[in-house]
Amino acid sequence: MLAQNALVVVADGHQAVLFRNVARHGIELEEQDRMAPAHLQDESQGRQPEETTPRDEDEATFAKQVVEKLNQMVLQNKIEELAVIADPSTLGVMRKHYHKMLEQKIVKEVPKTLTSATGEAIANALRD
């Protein structure tokens, strides 16, 4: 079960939505923030394999930007528990960039594309 005030991030290569669980018991999600790709020409990302398309690079860079924000939040003690819901490819990129402290806060990962889903569909995915 997800703790009250747990952070839930729902992401794909194009957007991320951050929710807080406001329910004392159970899951009731309240939207906190939305992220879209900011500046995708991140020089620190390193070289991608030759077969990588520009779209793949943009999506990977955005996934990295989402994790950088989460890493910053955990280092500022703004995350007690975290659930991550992301399409499998975005989730794979995100995992590579988790800070050790962030890894310790993750209570659930769900490899699904739910960025356009309702809060209830997201809550159901967390209950599975």
Supply the pLDDT for residue 41: 42
Token readout for 107 is: 């209570």
Give the confidence band of 52 by pLDDT, cuts at 50, 70, 90. low
DSSP state of 38: -
CA distance 53 to 122: 30
CA distance 118 to 10: 11
Is 2 domain-assigned?
Answer: no
Q: Tell me the DSSP string of 72-105.
A: HHHHTT--SSEEEEE-HHHHHHHHHH--HHHHHH
Give the containing element (helix H, strand E) for 61. Answer: helix 54-75
- CATH number of 88's domain: 3.30.420.60
What domain count does the chain have? Answer: 1
Domain that holds residue 82: 7-43+53-127
Is 1 domain-assigned?
Answer: no
pLDDT tens digits, one per residue of 88-103: 999 999 999 999 999 9
Is 33 domain-assigned?
Answer: yes
Is 32 domain-assigned?
Answer: yes
Is 38 domain-assigned?
Answer: yes
